[in-house]
């Protein structure tokens, strides 16, 4: 028996073509046969039970912090890849705010190669827009593109200088590359710990106003209009941001956007217990924002769910709120949270978790594909009706800063197939 | 650990406990007036003052309160602590807890630290000021001072103006909370830049419109480093608009009260000499602070016996 031959039996296949009860046979990394009740040959292939399950294209995360190189106390490419695979992801875009920064060929190649060695998902490094994410000097876009970088971002901070951002868009656009913005006008958020609103006023914590995000969303939409170059807007968190993107799309601009599971499930009220696990950037907003972001995902204003998976060691989250670093885990809970709070069908969920982000990340040749003969076998098998709670001690991630302790989640990944190999079988990583 | 009672904010304590603590403060004020103001109520108990932010006055007030109740006290001030050597907040608290602490009195520059600490110790936690958030013993001593001076426990209809840097003031938040809870009407007086972004309390920037009518004028300290920033212009503009000046003092009703949590910036938010201002109860606030803190410590750690002279 070889691991390269798999048969998924009894599942319901969901992709852009609809929902169909089909078995799926995989060999040498490719889907070789689909049909009703295919005959299994246990001597030649591994049979994976997908009875009652949803089978669809593996998820693609536009926004993962793998923390390696430099911050391997929080996460490594190995542990982050395992968390991704368990969450149903077959590809992740690794954010560039590592130490050193992913601003040169050497660091990017290190991340890419380490991802390949681990082999649990496609690790696609992003590049920073500016050297050291310092907002001053552009990185070598063309050199980085030559080693596989498609998405560039200074995530962790926004590019503050509008003139520089304009030049970066002009330069990236003609190379066919995508710039992604962390929208935050830093002059409005000095020292901010949480959303500026009723809750922060009561708690006496410095506020992060919604406008600090919306001003940069608006600025970059106008820069997109001026340059014609595409812009991707990271982790949108406010109602007005969603409106601005919706209007830009109506104008036909090449703007895309993502939203995180936590910005559609949690509000600033969570900070009332002064628990730094709920400190994140951009911050958790109000229920009205949560509802607006959900609507944006459902009506197409926002193209993708992206995790902003941001591991931090426990001691860092035990520091006073102003010192504790922002960010929360996301890879292993993204499906469970999204299914719980978004009232939609599986086709739409795959659009938001797989097809949409694959297109944006420039990975649509291998990920987010239809489940058809000849297609690369990057697939996820989901128990759709399982209700579960996250066990912070049982996560594959090296950190345990999940905000979802005690919250009921719905739907769970059973198997993940990456390049034709079963990397997760029955919720366990298969190394 | 979560079931244990603490004294971290007025809202958390609730109105019934606040009224009980006001009565207890009155009792402790009586104890403090005795020739020997020391009682054995907390004999054998250890109170640890954990001050991550310098505050000599509050620390001495808590220390005196604990000693009058016969508690053993220890003090960790940040300058001499291993926190500066990289030890985490949690390690510090767990280490001190292991030495046998019954109560931590916590002051920290960041909101929420007393709540974080509560998760790491079996001791009770008293908030001695966290960031811009809360300073509940200050609120208790202020409510007691008003009650004592006016000779009534009824706060209904009492009009209070709190003047100054509300946004960055834990005192303003806690005093507003306790007085509103007891039935008073509180107005914040400040420029928009020094109010919380979403302020549920009525506010005005026109001090002169209400100075002649209020029952209590509560002046806040303004940090001089806020002057000349984006928050307040430099020079004398703040003083001109918001300070208690001699001309404003002349407009105060004779029976109104002037309060200040200290330390005062003379010449900035107050340009009259409070010792020559008959309405001032600023010194009484300091005295009552010890009684209020005795009440809080006794309420959390004491038994009903033990208030007799030792």
Q: Report the pLDDT averaged over residues B151-170.
A: 97
B-facing residues of A in 94-133 (CB < 8 A) are none
Q: Report the pLDDT averaged over residues B301-310.
A: 71
CATH topology identical between B10-134+287-301 and B137-285? yes
Sheet architecture: strand order including A46-49: A30-35, A23-27, A5-9, A46-49
Say if residue A270 is in the same domain as residue A206.
yes
Average pLDDT, chain A: 97
Residue to mutate among A202, A207, A324, with most B CBs inside 10 A, is: A202
A365 within domain boundaries: no
- Is B116 in contact with A203 (Cβ distance < 8 A)? no
pLDDT digits (tens, 9 = 90+) for B193-211: 999 999 999 999 999 999 9
Distance from CA of A191 to the nearest CA of B (A): 11
The pLDDT-based confidence of A199 (bands split at 50, 70, 90) is very high
First-to-final CA distance of chain A: 16
What is the rounded CA–CA span in Å between residue A97 and residue A128? 8
- Per-domain boundaries in chain B: 10-134+287-301, 137-285
The pLDDT-based confidence of B85 (bands split at 50, 70, 90) is low
Say if residue A12 is in the same domain as residue A68.
no
Q: Which residues of B touch A273 (CB under 8 A)?
A: 115
What is the rounded CA–CA span in Å between residue A101 and residue B94? 37
Q: Report the pLDDT averaged over residues A268-294.
A: 98
pLDDT at B307 over 80: no
The pLDDT-based confidence of B87 (bands split at 50, 70, 90) is confident
Main-chain phi, psi angles of A45, to 5 degrees: -145, 155
Q: Give the active site residues of A.
A: 308
- Is B88 in contact with A321 (Cβ distance < 8 A)? no
Q: Considering the domain B137-285, what is its CATH architecture? A: 3-Layer(aba) Sandwich (3.40)
Tell me the count of A-B CB pairs closer than 8 A: 65
Q: What is the full DSSP assignment across A280-312?
A: -SSPP--HHHHHHHHHHHHHTSS-EE---B---
Q: Identify the closest residue of chain A to B117 by CA–CA distance.
A: A318
Q: Which of A6-10, A208-212, A326-330, B83-87 has the lowest mean pLDDT?
A: B83-87
What is the pLDDT at residue B305? 65
Distance from CA of B115 to the nearest CA of A (A): 7
Residue to mutate among A319, A320, A322, with most B CBs inside 10 A, is: A320
What is the pLDDT at residue A169? 98
Say if residue A21 is in the same domain as residue A49.
yes
Distance from CA of B191 to the nearest CA of A (A): 16
A367 within domain boundaries: no
What is the pLDDT at residue B88? 87
Q: Report the pLDDT averaged over residues A29-44.
A: 94
A368 within domain boundaries: no
Q: Report the pLDDT averaged over residues A300-315.
A: 98
Domain final position from A311, A338, A360: A360
- Is B108 in contact with A202 (Cβ distance < 8 A)? no
What is the pLDDT at residue B234? 81
Q: Which of A379-388, B93-102, B297-306 has the lowest mean pLDDT?
A: B297-306
Residues in chain A: 431
b/e map of A221-245 (b: 16 or more CB within 10 Å)?
bebbeebebbbbbbbbbbbbbbebb
Q: Which residue has the higher pLDDT, B257 or B4?
A: B257
Say if residue A166 is in the same domain as residue A314.
yes
The pLDDT-based confidence of B228 (bands split at 50, 70, 90) is confident
- Is A198 in contact with B200 (Cβ distance < 8 A)? yes
Q: What is the count of structural domains for chain A?
A: 2
What is the pLDDT at residue B172? 98
pLDDT at A5 over 90: yes
The pLDDT-based confidence of A56 (bands split at 50, 70, 90) is very high
Q: Which residues of A touch B115 (CB under 8 A)?
A: 273-274
The pLDDT-based confidence of A3 (bands split at 50, 70, 90) is low
The pLDDT-based confidence of B141 (bands split at 50, 70, 90) is very high
Say if residue A296 is in the same domain as residue A418.
no
B-facing residues of A in 169-198 (CB < 8 A) are 196-198
ipTM: 0.93
What is the rounded CA–CA span in Å between residue A2 and residue A25? 13
Say if residue A83 is in the same domain as residue A181.
yes
What is the pLDDT at residue B81? 52
Say if residue A9 is in the same domain as residue A76.
no
What is the pLDDT at residue A141? 98
Q: Which residues of A touch B110 (CB under 8 A)?
A: 320-323
What is the rounded CA–CA span in Å between residue B34 and residue B202? 42
Output Rg (C-alpha) for chain A, integer angstroms.
21
Distance from CA of A76 to the nearest CA of B (A): 24
A424 within domain boundaries: yes
Domain final position from A360, A389, A417: A360
Q: What CATH number did the domain enclosing A236 receive?
A: 3.20.20.140
Contact A229, A180 (CB under 8 A): no
Of A201, A315, A323, the CB nearest to B199: A201
Please give the share of chain A, as a percent, with pLDDT higher than 70.
99
Of A196, A319, A321, the CB nearest to B111: A321
What is the rounded CA–CA span in Å between residue B216 and residue B257? 5
Distance from CA of B236 to the nearest CA of A (A): 27
Residue to mutate among A187, A203, A269, A312, with most B CBs inside 10 A, is: A203
Of A196, A273, A320, the CB nearest to B113: A320
Q: Does A323 touch chain B (CB under 8 A)?
A: yes
Domain final position from A299, A330, A360: A360
Say if residue A178 is in the same domain as residue A91.
yes
Q: What residues contact A106, with CB distance under 8 A and at least 6 apart?
A: none
Q: Which residues of B touch A275 (CB under 8 A)?
A: 116
Tokens of A320: 């006073």
A366 within domain boundaries: no
Domain B10-134+287-301 has CATH 1.10.600.10: no
- Is B200 in contact with A204 (Cβ distance < 8 A)? no
What is the rounded CA–CA span in Å between residue B95 and residue B121? 10
pLDDT at B94 over 70: yes
pLDDT at B216 over 70: yes
The model's pTM is 0.95
The pLDDT-based confidence of B1 (bands split at 50, 70, 90) is very low
Structural domain containing residue A15: 5-55+373-429
pLDDT at B3 over 60: no
Distance from CA of B66 to the nearest CA of A (A): 27
Say if residue A308 is in the same domain as residue A389.
no
Q: What CATH number did the domain enclosing A408 receive?
A: 2.30.40.10
Q: Does A18 touch chain B (CB under 8 A)?
A: no
Average pLDDT, chain B: 93
Say if residue A204 is in the same domain as residue A348.
yes
Q: Which residues of A touch B92 (CB under 8 A)?
A: none
- Is B134 in contact with A204 (Cβ distance < 8 A)? yes
Contact B200, A198 (CB under 8 A): yes
Say if residue A353 is in the same domain as residue A399.
no
- CA-based nearest residue to A286, from A158, A194, A193: A194
The pLDDT-based confidence of B306 (bands split at 50, 70, 90) is low
Say if residue A222 is in the same domain as residue A294.
yes
Q: Which residue has the higher pLDDT, B141 or B55?
A: B141
- Is A204 in contact with B133 (Cβ distance < 8 A)? yes
């Amino acid at each position: 028996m070889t691991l390269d031959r798999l048969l998924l039996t009894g599942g319901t296949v969901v992709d852009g073509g609809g929902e169909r009860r089909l078995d799926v046979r995989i060999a040498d990394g490719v889907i070789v046969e689909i049909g009703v009740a295919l005959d299994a040959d246990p001597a030649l292939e591994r049979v994976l039970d997908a009875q009652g399950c949803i089978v669809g294209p593996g998820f693609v995360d536009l926004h993962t912090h793998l923390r390696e190189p430099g911050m391997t106390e929080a996460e490594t490419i190995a542990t982050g890849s395992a968390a991704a695979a368990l969450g149903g992801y077959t590809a992740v875009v690794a954010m560039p705010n590592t130490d050193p920064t992913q601003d040169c060929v050497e660091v990017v190649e290190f991340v890419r190669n380490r991802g390949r060695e681990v082999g649990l998902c496609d690790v696609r490094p992003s590049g920073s827009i500016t050297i050291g994410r310092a907002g001053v000097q552009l990185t070598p876009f063309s050199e980085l593109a030559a080693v596989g970088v498609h998405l560039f971002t200074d995530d962790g901070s926004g590019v503050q200088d509008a003139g520089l951002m304009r030049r970066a868009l002009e330069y990236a656009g003609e190379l066919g590359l995508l710039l992604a913005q962390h929208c935050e006008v830093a002059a409005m958020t000095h020292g901010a710990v949480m959303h500026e609103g009723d809750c922060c006023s009561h708690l006496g914590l410095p506020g992060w106003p919604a406008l600090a995000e919306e001003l940069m969303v608006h600025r970059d939409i106008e820069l997109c209009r001026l340059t014609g170059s595409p812009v991707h807007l990271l982790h949108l968190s406010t109602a007005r941001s969603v409106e601005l993107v919706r209007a830009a799309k109506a104008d036909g601009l090449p703007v895309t956007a993502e939203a995180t599971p936590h910005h559609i499930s949690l509000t600033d009220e969570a900070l009332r217990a002064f628990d730094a696990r709920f400190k994140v950037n951009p911050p958790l907003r109000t229920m009205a924002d949560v509802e607006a972001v959900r609507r944006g995902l459902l009506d197409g204003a926002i193209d993708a769910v992206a995790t902003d998976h941001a591991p931090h060691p426990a001691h860092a989250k035990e520091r006073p709120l102003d010192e504790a670093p922002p960010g929360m885990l996301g890879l292993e809970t993204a499906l469970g949270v999204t299914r719980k709070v978004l009232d939609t069908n599986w086709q739409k969920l795959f659009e938001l978790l797989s097809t949409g982000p694959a297109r944006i990340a420039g990975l649509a040749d291998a990920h987010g594909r239809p489940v058809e003969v000849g297609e690369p076998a990057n697939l996820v098998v989901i128990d759709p009706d399982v209700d579960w709670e996250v066990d912070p001690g049982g996560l594959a991630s090296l950190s345990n800063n999940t905000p979802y302790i005690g919250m009921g989640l719905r739907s769970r990944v059973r198997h993940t197939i990456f390049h034709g190999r079963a990397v997760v079988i029955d919720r366990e990583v298969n190394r | 650990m979560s079931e244990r009672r603490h004294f971290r904010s007025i809202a958390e304590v609730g109105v019934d406990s606040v009224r009980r603590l006001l009565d207890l403060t009155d009792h402790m004020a009586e104890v403090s007036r005795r020739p020997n103001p020391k009682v054995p109520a907390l004999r054998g108990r250890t109170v640890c003052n954990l001050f991550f932010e310098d505050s000599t006055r509050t620390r001495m007030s808590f220390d005196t309160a604990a000693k009058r109740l016969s508690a053993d006290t220890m003090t960790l001030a940040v300058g001499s602590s291993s926190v500066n050597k990289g030890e985490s907040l949690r390690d510090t608290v767990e280490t001190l807890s292991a030495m046998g602490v019954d109560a931590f009195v916590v002051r920290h520059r960041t909101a929420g630290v007393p709540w974080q600490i509560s998760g790491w110790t079996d001791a009770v936690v008293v908030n001695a000021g966290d960031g811009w958030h809360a300073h509940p013993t200050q609120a208790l001593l202020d409510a007691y001072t008003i009650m004592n001076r006016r000779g009534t426990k009824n706060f209904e209809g009492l009009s209070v103006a709190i003047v100054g840097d509300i946004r960055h003031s834990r005192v303003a938040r806690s005093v507003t909370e306790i007085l509103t809870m007891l039935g008073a009407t509180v107005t914040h007086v400040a420029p928009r830049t020094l109010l919380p972004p979403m302020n549920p309390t009525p506010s005005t920037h026109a001090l002169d419109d209400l100075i002649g009518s209020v029952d209590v004028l509560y002046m806040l300290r303004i940090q001089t480093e806020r002057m000349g920033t984006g928050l307040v212009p430099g020079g004398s503009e703040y003083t001109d608009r918001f300070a208690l000046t001699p001309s404003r003092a002349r407009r105060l009703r004779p029976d109104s009260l002037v309060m200040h949590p200290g330390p005062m910036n003379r010449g900035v938010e107050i340009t009259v000499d409070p010792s020559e201002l008959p309405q001032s109860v600023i010194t009484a606030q300091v005295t009552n602070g010890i009684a209020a803190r005795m009440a809080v410590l006794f309420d959390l750690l004491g038994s009903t016996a033990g208030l007799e002279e030792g």
